[in-house]
């Protein structure tokens, strides 16, 4: 696997960790903007990494729904992932900084769904986290 994909996967893992740490704080102390953006970035990066291994086409300005759809065209297992919890799922990556979820429960739901995305991507790429540390 090429170095750029490894770096992107590592970045996705790190973004998801930041979100999880933020959400471990008491609700009144959690910075949900940070957790939301990190979760969204992780989901984008996991899906883009999968696509980068299957295509030379750039997928930079796709929405989360668009990326998932492209993954599902390659592998039907991606059709099983329901990302309706992401309010931003139809927003292009370049516009995502303009909106975010503020409710801790909502962001937690997106974190859990990003775990599902991560697990499927890693299984399809036959990788484990230690493979790109």
pLDDT (0 to 100) of residue 132? 66
Q: What is the pLDDT of residue 131?
A: 75
Query: Any idea which residue has 């933020």 for tokens?
Result: 22
pLDDT at 30: 82
Domain count, the chain: 1
Joined together, the tokens standing for residue 13 give 């893992």
Res. 94: pLDDT tops 70: no
Distance, CA of 90 to CA of 101 (rounded, Å): 14
CB 59 within 8 A of CB 48: yes
Could you tell me the residue range of the domain that residue 125 belongs to?
3-132
Whole-number Cα distances in Å, 32 to 12, 20, 21, 93: 18, 10, 11, 19
Closest CA to 36 of 90, 114, 94, 92: 114
Using one digit for the tens of pLDDT, what is the confidence trace for 75-87?
999 999 999 999 8
Q: Confidence class of residue 7 from pLDDT cuts 50, 70 and 90?
A: very high
Taking all residues of the chain, what is their mean pLDDT, rounded to a whole number?
89
The CATH number of the domain holding residue 86 is 1.20.120
Nearest to 49 by CA among 1, 92, 94, 91: 1
73 or 87: whose pLDDT is higher? 73
Average pLDDT over residues 13-17: 96
pTM as predicted: 0.91
Q: Which two tokens stand for residue 66?
A: 């668009």
């Amino acid at each position: 696997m090429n170095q750029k994909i490894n770096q992107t996967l590592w970045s996705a893992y790190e973004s998801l960790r930041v979100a999880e740490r933020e959400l471990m704080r008491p609700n009144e102390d959690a910075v949900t903007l940070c957790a939301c953006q990190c979760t969204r970035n992780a989901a984008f990066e996991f899906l883009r990494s999968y696509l980068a291994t299957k295509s030379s086409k750039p997928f930079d300005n796709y929405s989360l729904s668009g990326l998932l759809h492209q993954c599902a065209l390659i592998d039907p297992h991606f059709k099983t992932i329901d990302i309706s919890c992401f309010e931003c799922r139809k927003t292009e990556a370049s516009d995502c900084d303009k909106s975010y979820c503020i409710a801790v429960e909502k962001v937690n739901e997106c974190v859990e769904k990003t775990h599902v995305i991560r697990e499927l991507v890693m299984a399809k790429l036959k990788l484990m986290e230690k493979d790109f540390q």
